[in-house]
Each structure stands twice: as C-alpha cells, then as structure tokens.
C-alpha cells in the first residue's frame, strides 16, 4: 500500500507544551495555571497566523483532561482521554471554525451542547477558531454563556484580529498575545525536521526560509516542503533563492562596494543585471534598504543581536559596515525611503531607481566633489561657504560675492533694511541663482578694503553702469536720481530716492544686488537702507518744477526735441 504523504506542518505539529516553538511565555503560564488549579473559564489566543494559537489550544484541552499528567504538567498520551484525543474521537473537545459557522444559529447550537456534561473527563472544552468572524448577533447570543458557563465548560477562542472582537467578549476572557517566532528559532526547528527526514541542508539556506516565513512557523514548514521537493532532498542556499525567487546577498554587497567607491557605472551595470534576471525594481529597493539597515545594526556592538543571519554572512556585514559612517548610512536610507515611497507613482520606474543609486554614489564621492555631491543629494544648489575651521582662522578669507538676477530676489514687502556682516550672514541671506545668459553662478573674489564715503559713491556708480549694461533701464533711471551716502559711525549705506521716482516694488528687488556689489570690497558689518526723499531734511532736497522736468525729458530723448523743432513748438508750462 502506498504511503500517504503528510505535510510537515501536520506531521510535526507540537503535541506537548515543551515542543511549542517560540511561545515560552504562553506555555509556561498555562502549565502553571494547570498545576495550581487556577484555570479560567474563557481564554483568548490572539496573534499572527502560523504561530501556534490553535495548537496551544488543543494541547491545553488535552492536558487538562489527562488523568496521568507528568511531573512537568504534560499529557501522558497513554490514558483514555489522551488516546481518544489523538484519534480525534473525543466527545469532550469540540472545535468550531467561526469563519464557516458565524451565524447566530450556530452559536445557539453550541450553547445547547454546553448544557451536556463531559463523559469520562473533568472538562468539556470548546475551541472556536477565527472567532472574530462571528456576526454581531452571534456575539450577543454567546455573551451570557461565556459570562456564566457551567463549571465543567472551558472556552478557548483564537483569532488573528483581536480588534474586531467586541469589548464585552474581551472583558470575559484571559487574553494571551502570541508573538512572531524569531528567525533563529524557526531555523533551529527546521534543522530538527531535516535531520528527522534525512534531508541534507546548509544553515544559510534554512535561514533564508526562516526569513521568508516572516515569523510564521507554519509558513516556514510549507516553504521547507516545497524547497525539499524542488531540490530533491538537498536544501542549499542557491537552491532556496532560486526556488523562492530571492535576490542573492552578493548583489547587495557588490552594490554597496560600488557605491562606496563612487562607481556610478558599476552601480548601473549591477542594477541592469538584477533587472535582467527578472527581479522587480521595487523588490530590489526594499532588499537594499534591509541590507543597509543591517549595516547600521553592525555599527554598534549592542545592536548586533538584531542581525538575523548566519554567522558567515554576519561577518561580511560587520566587515562592510566598517567602510561607512553611521550618518552616511542614514542618508542612504533616506534616499531609498523616498525611492520606495514614490516608486509606484514614477512613470519611468527603472530611471527612478537608477537616480537613487547615483545619488547614493555621489554621497560617497571624494571631498573635491562635495559641491556636486550636495546638489545631487539635496536637489538644490547651495552657496559654497568656508568651513567652520576656515571661518575661525586668523587670516580673513576672501569674500565670495553672488550677483543674482533680480527675478529671484525677495518679493515686494520685504524689510527695508538688510544686514550682512559675517560669513554665516552671507550663508543665511544670499542664495545663489542662475545667470540669465550663461546659467552659471557669478562668483568674484576681491581683496578686502575699508569702505569710505568716496569709495561707496564710486561703487554705487559702477553698480548703475552694471544695471545699464544689463538692460535694467527702469531701475537705472530711478537709482541714477538717487543720492548715495556712507555713514561710517553706523556702518550704514544710505540710498535716498526722490519721491517723484520712488517705486518701492521695483527698487526693493535690487537691494541684494546693491549689497552684494558693495560687499565685494569690504569685510565690515554693513547695513543697507533705502529711504524715500520726503523722509530727509528739506535742505538736502532740490525742488523740480514742471519746466525742469520737461527740459530733462528733452535732454534724455533727442527725438522729442527734433519733433518740436520740425513742428515749431515751444515749451509752454
């Protein structure tokens, strides 16, 4: 007769508390409750799938009815109660799947059975699996019996979704939270089963199966059966990753080596190889994030225990982690997190991942590449300023002056006075922009000098010429009528604009231009004030009549003068 194959999850299902994997906090409590005769009449076992909730419920039901329990409170498997339980013929243990028996009629039938006392045993145990699937009416029908059951009745409820159970049920149960099983515990259990079945294996392959199970032992046993069939009873690391379609560790190690050596070409070629093998880009991003997380774990001896890999792979992680600083790994994780978040929305998903890899590589660039590295990593251009050590050096550094386009400067309504003095002030207040003609940042270096009233007027005249040369005629016209003065006591540059020509919204855009132009030649603390003409003393003003204005217009525009001469016109104002 042909032998019937039994899957490992059933064949090696724990039959005693001691054989339950990874739930010692639950089994110890239950054994003590049985020993001390302090059993509750309702238990709620909750936790993720495949961690032993129903198994522990069955062991508890079997143990409390065993007539010859062992010294460590385990069932004997020899008495009549244990025998009938093992043969699935026990009349005192009733199992119900609430997913398929969720109506109020099903619960009423169960309540009717509760009235019948146990036969040949002390307790009658009711195990209700997936109890969260019961309807609201079914829960209400169950409440009274659950609150005041007969002394021989014990209810064990199991669920993966505790939050769906009504509070009135929760308050009537002792709640046991099952946890996900650790990778090491699953791998150890798989070794035991492989030894019993005569299956050859390597530890790294079993660890991959344990990691893939994500804390569920039942899932791990299903994968174990599948892999052993695929590999013909020879479970190796390569066979496991091929069968489960998992990307090899080596790709992540090679990718981080390429990033560490600022080799963009190697990163792109490695990612191309990954895509050629049929792996999803999102899967690669998640795997690389997990790899960098493991490198972060290796940076501190106290967190190495969080590294759930075999010893050989753990040594490789520790070795590679020495080549990266903690802050750099954190920046890598930030880039990959953004890539993971936006992957689904990206139209060109391959380029989306490649861009993230290139940004990571540029973060590892040599110091001479710091400027480009920061542009790529932060998606913005920042002013390059001296380091703290350079700023504190005895000799003052040359001043870097940025002359941005007026279109990018502060909008109307900004403060009328802007102060800059130290390098930190320049860093905070001036953001370089692209020049309209060649899109390059204009940066000039000058030797510092002391600002005087004559020097201030000279620089202001050069600034007016700069405006004229660049076609800023409106600003040139207004500022050319202004009066520039330097207050040495207050270190303040004052520009007084006549009231007739004062246009705040137009001139305010040129404040940084003026300040940057003046700042090229001085290291002094400078403030800039734009003052409307009617705010100065009357004796400093010149009153223009209407005729003066017309004469000025004729001087500025020869075509008007020629027209007047041809028509024989004269000024009548």
Q: Where are the domains of the chain?
A: 8-177, 183-244, 249-378, 399-540
Across all residues in the chain, what is the average pLDDT?
Answer: 77
Q: Using an 8 Å Cβ cutoff, are 114 and 141 in contact?
A: no
Task: Give which of 144, 145, 137, 146 is closest to 104, Cα–Cα.
Answer: 137
Q: What is the pLDDT averaged over residues 353-361?
A: 91
Q: How confident is the model at residue 541 (pLDDT cuts 50, 70, 90)?
A: very low
Q: How confident is the model at residue 503 (pLDDT cuts 50, 70, 90)?
A: low
d(CA 225, CA 196) in angstroms, rounded, equals 13
Q: What is the pLDDT averaged over residues 297-308?
A: 84
d(CA 231, CA 225) in angstroms, rounded, equals 10
The pair of structure tokens assigned to 327 is: 């802050």
Instruction: Give the residue with greater pLDDT, 550 vs 39.
Output: 39
Please list, in sequence order, all residues whose beta carbon lies within 8 angstroms of the beta carbon of residue 132, skipping any fewer than 6 positions away.
98, 159, 160, 161, 162, 164, 165
Task: Give which of 173, 98, 182, 176 is closest to 134, Cα–Cα.
Answer: 98
Report pLDDT digits (tens) over 507-538. 666 777 777 777 665 655 667 777 766 544 44
- Please state the φ and ψ torsions of residue 443, each to the nearest 5 degrees: -130, 125
Count CA atoms within 13 Å of residue 460 on its CB side: 22
CB-based burial, 351-387: b 16+ in 10 Å, e otherwise: ebbbebbbbbbbbbbeeeeeeebbebbeeeeeeebee
Q: What is the DSSP string of 151-169?
A: TTEEEEEEES-GGGS-HHH
Please list, in sequence order, all residues whose beta carbon lies within 8 angstroms of the beta carbon of residue 242, skipping any fewer than 6 positions away.
none
Q: What is the pLDDT of residue 362?
A: 86
From 318-327, 337-346, 460-469, the region with the lowest mean pLDDT: 460-469
From 96-100, 358-362, 444-448, 460-464, the region with the lowest mean pLDDT: 444-448
* Class (C level, CATH) for 183-244: mainly alpha
Q: Is 562 buried (19+), middle (13-18) or exposed (0-12) by CB count in 10 A? A: exposed
Distance of CA 451 to the CA centre of its chain: 51
Q: What is the pLDDT of residue 424?
A: 42
pTM score > 0.85 for this model? no
pLDDT over 60 (residue 409): no
Q: What is the pLDDT of residue 533?
A: 62
Q: What is the pLDDT of residue 529?
A: 75
pLDDT over 80 (residue 153): yes
Q: What is the pLDDT of residue 367?
A: 54
Q: What is the pLDDT of residue 439?
A: 37
Number of H helices, E strands in the chain: 26, 13
Q: How confident is the model at residue 374 (pLDDT cuts 50, 70, 90)?
A: low
Please list, in sequence order, all residues whose beta carbon lies within 8 angstroms of the beta carbon of residue 286, skipping any fewer than 6 positions away.
340
Question: Which spans in 343-484 are helix H?
Answer: 349-363, 370-378, 388-391, 423-429, 453-469, 473-480
Q: Which CATH architecture has domain 249-378?
A: Up-down Bundle (1.20)
Q: Give the pairing type, strands 443-446 and 174-177.
A: unpaired
Task: Give which of 480, 483, 492 is closest to 522, Cα–Cα.
Answer: 492
Q: What is the pLDDT averaged over residues 192-200?
A: 88
CATH 3.40.1710.10 fits 8-177, yes or no: no
């Amino acid at each position: 007769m042909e032998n019937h194959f039994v899957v490992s999850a059933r064949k090696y299902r724990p039959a005693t508390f001691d054989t339950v994997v990874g739930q010692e906090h639950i089994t110890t409590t239950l054994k003590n409750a049985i020993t001390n005769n302090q059993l509750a009449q309702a238990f709620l076992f909750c936790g993720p799938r495949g961690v032993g909730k129903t198994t522990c419920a069955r062991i508890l039901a079997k143990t409390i009815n065993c007539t010859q329990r062992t010294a460590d409170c385990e069932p004997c498997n020899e008495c009549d109660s244990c025998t009938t339980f093992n043969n699935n013929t026990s009349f005192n243990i009733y199992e119900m799947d609430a997913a398929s028996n969720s109506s109020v009629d099903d619960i009423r039938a169960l309540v009717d059975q509760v009235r019948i006392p146990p036969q040949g045993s002390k307790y009658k145990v009711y195990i209700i699996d997936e109890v969260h699937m019961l309807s609201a009416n079914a829960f209400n029908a169950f409440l009274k019996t659950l609150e005041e059951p007969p002394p021989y009745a014990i209810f064990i409820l199991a669920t993966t979704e505790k939050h769906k159970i009504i509070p009135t049920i929760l308050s009537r149960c002792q709640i046991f939270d099952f946890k996900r099983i650790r990778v090491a515990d699953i791998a150890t259990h798989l070794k035991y089963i492989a030894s019993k079945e005569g299956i050859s294996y390597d530890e790294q392959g079993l660890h991959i199966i344990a990691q893939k199970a994500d804390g569920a032992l039942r899932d791990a046993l299903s994968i174990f059966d599948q892999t052993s069939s695929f590999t013909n009873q020879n479970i190796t690391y390569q066979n496991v990753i091929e069968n489960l379609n998992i990307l090899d560790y080596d790709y992540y190690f090679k990718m981080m080596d390429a990033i560490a050596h600022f080799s963009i070409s190697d990163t792109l070629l490695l990612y191309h190889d990954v895509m050629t093998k049929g792996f999803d880009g999102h899967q690669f991003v998640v795997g690389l994030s997990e790899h960098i997380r493991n490198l972060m774990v290796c940076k501190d001896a106290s967190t190495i225990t969080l590294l759930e890999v075999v010893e050989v792979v753990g040594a490789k992680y520790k070795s590679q982690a020495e080549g990266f600083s903690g802050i750099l790994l954190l920046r890598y994780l930030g880039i990959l997190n953004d890539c993971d978040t936006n992957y689904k929305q990206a139209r060109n998903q391959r380029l989306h991942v490649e861009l993230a890899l290139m940004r990571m590589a540029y973060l590892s660039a040599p110091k001479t590449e710091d400027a480009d590295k920061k542009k790529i990593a932060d998606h913005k251009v920042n002013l390059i300023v001296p380091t703290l050590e350079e700023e504190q050096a005895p000799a003052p550094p040359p001043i870097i002056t940025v002359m941005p386009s007026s279109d990018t400067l502060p909008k109307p309504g900004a403060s009328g006075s802007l102060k800059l003095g130290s390098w930190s002030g320049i860093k905070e207040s001036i953001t370089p922009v692209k020049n309209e003609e060649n899109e390059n940042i204009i940066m000039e270096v000058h030797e510092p000098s002391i600002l005087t009233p004559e020097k201030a007027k000279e620089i202001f005249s050069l600034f007016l010429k700069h405006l004229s040369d660049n076609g800023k005629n409106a600003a040139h016209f207004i500022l050319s009528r202004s009066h520039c003065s330097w207050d040495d006591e207050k270190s303040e540059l004052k520009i007084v604009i006549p009231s007739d020509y004062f246009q705040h919204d137009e001139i305010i855009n040129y404040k940084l231009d003026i300040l940057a132009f003046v700042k090229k030649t001085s290291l002094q603390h400078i403030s800039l004030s734009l003052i409307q003409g009617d705010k100065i003393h009357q004796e400093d003003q010149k009153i223009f009549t209407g005729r003066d204005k017309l004469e000025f217009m004729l001087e500025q525009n020869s075509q008007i003068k020629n027209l007047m001469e041809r028509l024989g016109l004269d000024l009548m104002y």
